[in-house]
Structure 1
């Protein structure tokens, strides 16, 4: 599970076995006991939420929007 970055106590990562065929670019945001998945394109959009409140989801989305290029670069480098 490649960790792309950590911020505000959240771990932003993706899994090395992202489906067959591979799923589109996305990122997971996790803390112990909670997880959310966001698609990156065409817009940053919540795929699922397991345990976060609405305020935290908005905060996570803002972080992902700000770092979308870093996430995409890490994804492309890992799966190249």
Structure 2
């Protein structure tokens, strides 16, 4: 199943963050807990881990781009049986 992963709020006043580094590229398979990307905001720099097993289909926001809280950052496929 295709799923849009959204940027979660990690700080009380956070409205957006920059995707500083992608650790996975389209086509990569990942497991729950693996780092997908890193974000930087005014008050925090952190790694964002995969919420489930899956395959990265595309980046919606490229490295260096800004994502808004609740906005899509990438598209994954959670069905690894195919």
Q: TM-score, normalised by structure 2?
A: 0.28
Bigger relative CO (Cα 8 Å, ≥ 6 apart): 2
Q: TM-score, normalised by structure 1?
A: 0.28
Q: Which has the higher helix share?
A: 1
